[in-house]
Structure 1
Amino acid sequence: MKSTFALGTLAPAWLVSAALYNQTIHTEYGSVQGIAAFDSEPNITISNWRDITIWKGIPFAADTSGQNRWRPPQKRQAWNTTLVASEFGDTCPGQPSFGIPAKMKRQTDGSGNSTTSTSSSEDCLNLNIWTSANSTEEKHPVMIWSYPAGGSAAQPLFDGAGMAAKGIVYVNYNYRTAAFGWLAHPQLNAEMQKEVGYNVSGNWAMLDQFAVLKWAHENIAAFGGDPERITVAGQSAGSAATYHMLNSPLTKGLIKGAIIESGVRYPRDPFCSTLAENYRNMTTAFATGETLMEYYNATTIDELRELSAEDLSSYTSGNFGAVLDYWAIPDTYLNTLLNGPANDVPILTGNTKDESGAELPINITVSEYNSDLQSYYGDEFAARFLTLFPASNNTQAGMAHNAIYSATSRVGTWLFAKGWVESNTTSPIYTYFWDHAPPGQDRGAYHESEINYVLNNLYGTDSPWEGIDLLITQKMSGYWANFVKTQNPNNGGNYDGTGELVQWSASTPNKSVSMRVGDGWGDMDVATDAQVELFQDWFASNIAY
């Protein structure tokens, strides 16, 4: 074993129970030893906190440097000694961040949550597991979480002990990104033709994501999980990863449900081409690869493989991302929606109220607002948007600006759900709209703001949580845990608050409603009838993605 997978201290002696951190777990690569997730009682109520085990930094594939750079994840060589999985593994180099379309943004946000310090290397394909199982025979349902752009599996925001407390085996992981994860080039296509029989390249990050799912199928039973009950989940770029797992024939039959937070977009929404779910065709991906080659004065991929990770990370101008290769990504999003995905499974998806990432109130003048509408929508649609989202002063302009972005997400998600129900699929889809603003910040219900609540991990961040946040967490994590267990947010018995969860109805093609969660609970109209009609007309005028 490399030194990056350091041995650590076992659980405190006073934590005596039958928890799995007292057992050696055997995987196909070698034995691992977990540790207690908590060394003292957390500041929110988790009655079984003593039972929760975490395994940190378990490698699920080989080092991706050298000749493994720009190859599908390779099998890890087995280790002979027990790996004490007490430290998070290395993160992958070259993390990007996806933004809001330039015509519609004012100020972008960050999560505001601290990050556990880890080193970065190309030996970064590792995962973490949390479970409250006391036996490897318990067969808990499994949730595989994909983090958003710029994140890592070590972040407290993505801690899984709160979900493990609800009887779920929670897995998160690191994957390649930027040029390391998305470079396409004719030489790589030729290599892949020999290796997998397809003339493709570019989706290395996606293949990492798929490899985690396959690793879980082969190994998660040893951690008290059920490989036949895996739900994939993620937010933003992580939601794109989840969407690709849903759609790809390379994962067919491996998942039972998908949770896609911020989120699935209607394939005629232009934001698809600029946000985390964006992709490019192979020709465009090749052009980006050639530009990188020129930057380093390289003529072959072999020369690029000789570069250090630090040198390659210094290149930040490339338009890297998913490639429509008709293999890992089998078709356009529109065709996949019309014809049905590889995995016809229940979906839970939605958005936050203030996805735009702007600080509130948004500082924008009426003139700037009108100019943005004109530039982004063109004359005809700008006039219609101005009629339905009017602004006679600067305060109204800021509110209208944010309202349009929010409505775009809500209506787009509903239109996707409508298309899903009307297609060849048979599984239900549940949509939501999150509107609670966490305390201690001025960005409202911002992008990522629901994550602490759905993952039941308020204990891991230093926000000034209030009593209402604890109550909302009980409901949100209850719905999410129910869905992981039963693929229905209403069933599973995972709400530990008073009263009952409000019934969450699956989407139908004739009612433009979504489930409000956060500051209120229950069905809500996604927009007025006139606004829905406007967005439908605008989406119809755009090229399908």
Structure 2
Amino acid sequence: MKTSVSLGALATAGLASAALYDQIISTAYGPVQGIAAFDSAPNSDIPNWGDITVWKGIPFAADTSGQNRWRPPQKREVWNTTLVASEFGDTCPGQASFGNFGKVKRQFGGGGPGGNSSSSTSSSEDCLNLNIWTAANSTDEKLPVMIWSYPAGGSAAQPLFDGAGMAAKGVIFVNYNYRNAAFGWLAHPQLNAEMLKEVGQNVSGNWAMLDQFAVVKWVHENIAAFGGDPERITVAGQSAGSAASYHMLNSPLTKGLIKGAIIESGIRFPRDPFCSSLAENYRNMTTALAAGQTLMEYYNATTIDELRRLPMSKLDNYPSNGFGAVLDYWAMPDTYLNTMLRGPANDVPVLTGNTKDESGAQLPINITVSDYVVDLQTQYGDEFASRFLALFPASNNTEAGMSYNARYSATSRVGTWLFANAWDRSPTKSPIYTYFWDHAPPGQDQGAYHESEINYVLNNLYGTDDPWEETDYLIAQKMSGYWANFVKSHNPNTGGNYDGPGQLAQWSPSTPHSPVTMHVGDGWGNMPVATEAQIQLIQEFFSKQRAY
């Protein structure tokens, strides 16, 4: 824990308007002090930038090394001196490379006066920490809260997940680190036996999921001290982070703690074969235990305690990445199909959708007609390949590329709409809002790629050096307006968070009677999910697939 900062930095921070970085905040685990989120006005429409406070690296649980490795997150010991939360905490081991998350903008420090302009952090098992952004000037404001879970390979310190842009809209933004790979998902019979003694459940494997749930509980217990309302928590995330939000929505371990969920790329219909391989994939306990036994044999170990004595770096180099969520019927209460039909533990409003160039769709496309036909036959088999070819034709290579992308995009839209239909027919009473994002950020040739909406919905274009254009700032105003509205009112249309030109297009909740979704990005308003024939074909294909 970083427990000091220069007195000069704090004095400089006091020159701005009276924000919460002027105060010491009491949490259940000890006092903390934040810093100014900006050194100077960002190149974005954030007029109240001087009011925004950030607390970085607040631990929400104990060190996960040693005997805490492969245990539920343990309570942190209380600290007595003030934790000056001026630097991001360590990231967790098992994280992949950062990937296409945007390059750090050197003139944007995010560290306040005297702060550090770099977002680089160290990796350690003492990594269960969180960051909080708010524009509140009082601890009594009771602002709504958004808990953000990052995608695979991410870290809470990355500029793409900076929360000041949402804080500027009156939302307290929280992001956090959680365990991953073998550290976050290892199951083993010996761990099952330990959990049976510790929590009364014969389960193991979902340590990362339990970290994610622990953040929700920490925020519920402590966010009032930061000016937040613990009764207005919305969980949000993208890709693997969307799976985290999905599990928070579904799990009885978070029941009653959340009031909304934003699930970006996203909820998939449980008969979509991609459920077995993309972000929300899971394995049954038998498979997870076998993978754990394989890891133990790889290290010539016979006990979990031997594995706990391994250096972090050695375990981090385990060559297999075959770890992920485990269907344990405890943290993860049931299959996605059964949970969809019966309703989640948290009956709350949901906002979910997809981007144009993801989930199989990708740009640029360079495919021949013959390769396209082979791809259809491989994915759908002889029974369906010719029917998909008729609806997504390929008379030449150019059309083959266009149809390749259009087919995957349509499948994502239809799958999300089918899920929403089932949601409406289940015991749930809350609305579900769906969207389709198609804006390609500038300076790249991958189109509206997976993750391409994040800068816009979080209103943080200031944090990367992409060649943003005026239209990007306008789109960010609208997207973050919808998202902030949803966090405030659980309706993307109400909340007063858009002050740009014109008005936000009306976003209606999904209904089984109207196959439309909300078009966001390069257009605004209702758009068809797909043609009637495409919907019928995709639905028929799904009906013959295994349920997850």
Q: TM-score range by the shorter chain?
A: over 0.9
* Residue of structure 1 in register with 2:199 after alignment: 196
- The Cα of 1:360 is off from its aligned counterpart by 2.7
* Residue of structure 2 in register with 1:110 after alignment: 100
* Residue of structure 2 in register with 1:103 after alignment: none
The answer to whether the 8 Å contact 1:358/1:443 transfers is: no
The answer to whether the 8 Å contact 1:5/1:57 transfers is: no
* Residue of structure 1 in register with 2:222 after alignment: 219
TM-score (norm 1): 0.96
Q: What one-letter code is carried by the residue in structure 2 that aligns with 1:542? A: Q
- Paired residue total: 533
Tell me if 1:368 matches 2:358.
no
Q: Select which of 498, 501, 505 maps to 1:502.
A: 505
The answer to whether the 8 Å contact 2:148/2:235 transfers is: yes
3-state SS in 2 of match to 1:228: strand
- d(CA) in 1 for partners of 2:82, 2:464: 32
Tell me if 1:44 matches 2:44.
yes
3-state SS in 2 of match to 1:514: strand
3-state SS in 2 of match to 1:10: helix
3-state SS in 2 of match to 1:452: helix
- d(CA) in 1 for partners of 2:175, 2:421: 30
- The Cα of 1:482 is off from its aligned counterpart by 0.3
TM-score (norm 2): 0.95
- The Cα of 1:17 is off from its aligned counterpart by 2.0
- The Cα of 1:13 is off from its aligned counterpart by 4.5
* Residue of structure 2 in register with 1:300 after alignment: 303
Q: What one-letter code is carried by the residue in structure 1 that aligns with 2:136? A: A
**More off after superposition, 358-367 vs 158-167:** 358-367
* Residue of structure 2 in register with 1:57 after alignment: 57
**Change in 2 beyond 3 A, CA 1:265/1:39:** same
Q: RMSD in angstroms over aligned alpha carbons?
A: 1.4
* Residue of structure 2 in register with 1:127 after alignment: 130
The answer to whether the 8 Å contact 1:228/1:255 transfers is: yes
- d(CA) in 2 for partners of 1:222, 1:19: 14
- d(CA) in 1 for partners of 2:178, 2:136: 27
- The Cα of 1:408 is off from its aligned counterpart by 1.1
Tell me if 1:82 matches 2:50.
no
Q: Select which of 418, 421, 426 maps to 2:424.
A: 421
Taking the TM superposition and a 5 Å limit, the aligned residue runs for 1:415-454 are 415-454=418-457
Q: Select which of 242, 265, 268 maps to 2:268.
A: 265
The answer to whether the 8 Å contact 2:25/2:31 transfers is: yes
**Change in 2 beyond 3 A, CA 1:527/1:289:** same
* Residue of structure 1 in register with 2:30 after alignment: 30
- The Cα of 1:16 is off from its aligned counterpart by 3.1
- The Cα of 1:110 is off from its aligned counterpart by 3.1
* Residue of structure 2 in register with 1:524 after alignment: 527
Tell me if 1:323 matches 2:326.
yes
Q: What one-letter code is carried by the residue in structure 2 that aligns with 1:191? A: E
Q: Select which of 241, 246, 256 maps to 1:243.
A: 246
- d(CA) in 2 for partners of 1:459, 1:416: 35
- The Cα of 1:367 is off from its aligned counterpart by 1.3
**Change in 2 beyond 3 A, CA 1:356/1:378:** same
The answer to whether the 8 Å contact 1:249/1:328 transfers is: yes
- The Cα of 1:7 is off from its aligned counterpart by 4.1
- d(CA) in 2 for partners of 1:475, 1:435: 14
The answer to whether the 8 Å contact 1:260/1:347 transfers is: yes
**Change in 2 beyond 3 A, CA 1:97/1:116:** closer
Q: What one-letter code is carried by the residue in structure 1 that aligns with 2:457? A: V
* Residue of structure 2 in register with 1:102 after alignment: none
Taking the TM superposition and a 5 Å limit, the aligned residue runs for 1:169-184 are 169-184=172-187
- The Cα of 1:531 is off from its aligned counterpart by 0.3
- d(CA) in 2 for partners of 1:374, 1:344: 40
**Change in 2 beyond 3 A, CA 1:268/1:6:** farther
**Change in 2 beyond 3 A, CA 1:76/1:357:** same
- d(CA) in 2 for partners of 1:304, 1:157: 35
- d(CA) in 2 for partners of 1:332, 1:97: 30
3-state SS in 2 of match to 1:516: strand
**More off after superposition, 359-368 vs 465-474:** 359-368
Tell me if 1:387 matches 2:351.
no
**Change in 2 beyond 3 A, CA 1:5/1:124:** farther
Residues 404-442 of structure 1, C-alpha deviations (whole Å, 9 max, x = no match): 111111000000000000111000000000011111110
* Residue of structure 1 in register with 2:312 after alignment: 309
* Residue of structure 1 in register with 2:488 after alignment: 485
3-state SS in 2 of match to 1:54: strand
**More off after superposition, 153-162 vs 315-324:** 315-324
* Residue of structure 1 in register with 2:68 after alignment: 68
**Change in 2 beyond 3 A, CA 1:70/1:14:** closer
Residues 168-202 of structure 1, C-alpha deviations (whole Å, 9 max, x = no match): 10000000000000000000000000100110000
* Residue of structure 2 in register with 1:20 after alignment: 20
Identity of aligned residues (%): 79
Residues 345-394 of structure 1, C-alpha deviations (whole Å, 9 max, x = no match): 00000000111476633011111111111111100111111111111222
- The Cα of 1:11 is off from its aligned counterpart by 6.2
* Residue of structure 1 in register with 2:476 after alignment: 473
Tell me if 1:253 matches 2:243.
no
Query: Which consecutive unaligned segments of at least 5 residues does structure 1 have?
Result: 99-108
- The Cα of 1:111 is off from its aligned counterpart by 3.6
Query: Which consecutive unaligned segments of at least 5 residues does structure 2 have?
Result: 105-117
